[in-house]
């Protein structure tokens, strides 16, 4: 095994393995160092297992209401052991696939802890690959993140959990408190509620789901309320205690809240522990993130950082895109910098949420004269057919001097399958398309995506429905 490479990558999650695969496809000699399993948080304790369990919840919800379609069956029951086995089978298959892809591209994979030294040297230790020092023309840091915790909430994996522990539960709690009303917290609240848990969401901020348009948040809140999910905003929690029968949360200004389990979903912190950044001259900002420029290059020449370890949206698809940009940059191909204001967001609760670009409020704050249109799924034929009509599509556009709608600034959706429908909106926003251009696109019928086309068409002043 050579100890010298074109690129050495520390971390085998989405950012790391994407950089390895893309770099190898460009002809670079690449080594990847991973201390645990290839695939990182996303594959093992994040995106993939969470969405698999949300799909389990969706199947349960569908079967429970099958009589509406004329399908008569006994009341369904949940076997979390079987659900976890299916989840693990999918994770294992994808994990094996990542390994095969890296092997096929002739990426050298080393198991162990990677730490950075001067002059782009990477020391590997504590794993099956043994102790070795690698040198590289370029180093990419992609060590990811771990769940943040709160004072007064000691994680024990049974009564007090983070996302890591919740994704492996085999016994559902009767009552659960979710601390955090962001994407992760809302997905878990939705999943648990569908499977029969009484759920309360506690959010310290005045509203849930920052980044989504106000109309989307209102619709989602109403939909959660119909499913008996309680959402409390502007709430401060001051720890919890085990009272023998469960967990009692101290809620500032309110009676204690008794539940069987608490799930702490207050975000994730960058994982830079033991990475040796100081010795390499890599600066970390006040939030613990690796400081980078517009091309994700750190303060140490030739050393880059991507994914959750930098202060950009903590999304696997953002890590993929950063990895591609970095490889292009180190090859001298002059890529475009990332536009973080216009990345796509997808939240897989029920109903789903997806958005890109400005909200109506943020567009006004940015100085745009705004025109917006909104249509609801309740009148969409496909939504009625599948029996899922809660939701809406909202398109925000710049108002031209003549009063007509011009460039599309933002697309915000809540409703059935919207995570699969955002593609049109993402392209429209990022290609700076105008309402009149997009309104000419033909939407297949009957589809959910017709609602996006109808919403854009109405901004021309001539709607069909």
Percentage of the chain modeled with pLDDT above 70 = 100
At residue 245, does pLDDT exceed 90?
no
Q: Is-same-fold flag (4-147+269-340; 351-458)?
A: no
Q: What is the pLDDT of residues 258-303, one digit of tens each?
A: 999 999 999 999 999 999 999 899 999 999 999 999 999 999 999 9
At residue 91, does pLDDT exceed 70?
yes
Q: Catalytic one among 44, 317, 445, 465?
A: 445
**Average pLDDT across the chain, whole number:** 96
Q: Give 4-147+269-340's CATH code, choosing from 2.160.10.10, 3.30.300.130, 1.20.5.440, 3.50.50.60.
A: 3.50.50.60
Q: CB of 389 within 8 A of CB of 378?
A: yes
**What is the mean pLDDT of the segment spanning 169-183?**
97
The span from the CA of 263 to the CA of 163, in Å, is 7
User: pLDDT-derived band of residue 221, with 50, 70 and 90 as boundaries?
Assistant: very high
**What is the mean pLDDT of the segment spanning 409-433?**
98
Predicted pLDDT at 185: 98
**Radius of gyration (Cα) for the chain, nearest Å?**
24
Whether the pTM exceeds 0.75: the reply is yes
At residue 2, does pLDDT exceed 80?
no
Q: With b meaning 16 or more CB within 10 Å and e meaning fewer, what string describes 303-339?
A: bbbbbbbbbbebbbbbbbbbbbbbbbbbbeeeeeebe
Predicted pLDDT at 244: 86
User: pLDDT-derived band of residue 413, with 50, 70 and 90 as boundaries?
Assistant: very high
Give the bridge partners for 121, in sequence order: 117, 135
- Listed by start position, the domains of the chain span 4-147+269-340, 160-266, 351-458
Nearest of 4, 114, 19, 31 to residue 305 by alpha carbon: 19
Q: What is the pLDDT of residues 438-463, one digit of tens each?
A: 999 999 999 999 999 999 999 999 98
Q: What is the pLDDT of residues 316-330, one digit of tens each?
A: 999 999 999 999 999
Burial of 372 (0-12, 13-18, 19+ CB in 10 A): buried
User: pLDDT-derived band of residue 172, with 50, 70 and 90 as boundaries?
Assistant: very high
Q: What is the pLDDT of residues 131-163, one digit of tens each?
A: 999 999 999 999 999 999 999 999 999 999 999
Phi, psi of 110, rounded to the nearest 5 degrees: -115, 130
Predicted pLDDT at 74: 85
Predicted pLDDT at 44: 97
DSSP assignments along 378-413, one per residue: GG-HHHHHHT----EEEEEEEEPTTS-EEEEEEEEE
3-state secondary structure 407-418: EEEEEEEEECCH
Strand pairing report for 132-141 and 121-125: antiparallel
Catalytic: 412? no
Residues 6+ apart with CB under 8 A from 443: 449, 450, 452, 453, 454
Q: Give 351-458's CATH code, choosing from 2.40.50.140, 3.30.390.30, 3.40.50.620, 3.20.20.140.
A: 3.30.390.30
Distances (CA, A) of 15 to 38, 66, 284, 308, 369: 11, 41, 19, 9, 38
Q: What is the pLDDT of residues 337-381, one digit of tens each?
A: 999 999 999 999 999 999 999 999 999 999 999 999 999 999 999
Burial of 8 (0-12, 13-18, 19+ CB in 10 A): buried
**What is the mean pLDDT of the segment spanning 87-94?**
98
At the topology level, CATH places domain 160-266 in FAD/NAD(P)-binding domain (3.50.50)
Give the bridge partners for 125, in sequence order: 113
User: pLDDT-derived band of residue 1, with 50, 70 and 90 as boundaries?
Assistant: low
Q: CB of 323 within 8 A of CB of 15?
A: yes
């Amino acid at each position: 095994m050579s100890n010298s490479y074109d690129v050495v990558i520390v971390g085998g999650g989405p950012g790391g393995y994407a950089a390895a695969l893309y770099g190898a496809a460009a002809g670079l000699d690449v080594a990847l160092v991973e201390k645990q399993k290839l695939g990182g948080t996303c594959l093992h304790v994040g995106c993939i297992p969470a969405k698999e369990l949300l799909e389990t919840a969706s199947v349960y919800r569908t079967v429970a209401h099958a009589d509406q379609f004329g399908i008569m069956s006994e009341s369904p029951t949940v076997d979390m052991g079987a659900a976890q086995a299916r989840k693990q089978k999918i994770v294992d298959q994808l994990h094996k696939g990542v390994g095969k892809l890296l092997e096929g591209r002739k990426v050298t994979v080393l198991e162990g802890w990677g730490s950075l030294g001067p002059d782009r040297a990477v020391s590997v230790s504590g794993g099956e690959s043994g102790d070795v020092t690698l040198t590289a023309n370029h180093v990419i840091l992609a060590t990811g993140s771990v769940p943040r915790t709160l004072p007064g909430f000691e994680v024990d994996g049974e009564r007090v959990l983070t996302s890591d522990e919740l994704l492996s539960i085999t016994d559902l709690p009767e009552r659960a408190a979710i601390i955090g009303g962001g994407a992760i917290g809302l997905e878990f609240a939705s999943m648990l509620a569908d499977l029969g848990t009484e759920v309360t969401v506690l959010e310290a901020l005045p509203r849930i789901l920052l980044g989504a348009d106000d109309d989307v948040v209102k619709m989602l809140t109403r939909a959660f309320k119909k499913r008996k999910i309680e959402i409390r905003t502007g709430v401060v929690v001051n720890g919890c205690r085990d009272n023998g029968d469960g967990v009692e949360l101290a809620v500032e200004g309110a009676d204690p809240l008794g539940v069987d389990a608490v799930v702490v979903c207050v975000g994730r912190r960058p994982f830079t522990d033991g990475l040796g950044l100081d010795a390499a001259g890599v600066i970390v900002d006040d939030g613990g993130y690796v400081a980078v420029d517009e091309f994700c290059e750190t303060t140490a020449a030739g050393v880059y950082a991507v994914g959750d370890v930098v202060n950009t949206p903590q999304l696997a698809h953002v890590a993929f895109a950063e990895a591609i940009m970095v490889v292009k940059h180190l090859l001298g191909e002059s890529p475009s910098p990332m536009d973080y204001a216009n990345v796509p967001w997808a939240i897989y609760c029920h109903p789903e949420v997806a958005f890109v670009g400005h909200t109506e409020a943020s567009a006004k704050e940015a100085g745009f004269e705004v025109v917006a249109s909104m249509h609801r799924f309740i009148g969409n034929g496909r939504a009625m057919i599948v029996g899922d009509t809660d939701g809406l599509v909202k398109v925000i556009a710049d108002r031209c001097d003549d009063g007509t709608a011009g460039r599309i600034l933002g697309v915000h959706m809540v409703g059935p399958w919207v995570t699969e429908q955002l593609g049109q909106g993402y392209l429209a926003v990022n290609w700076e398309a105008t309402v009149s251009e997009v309104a000419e696109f033909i939407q297949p019928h009957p589809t959910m995506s017709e609602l996006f086309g109808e919403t854009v068409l109405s901004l021309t002043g001539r709607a069909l429905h």
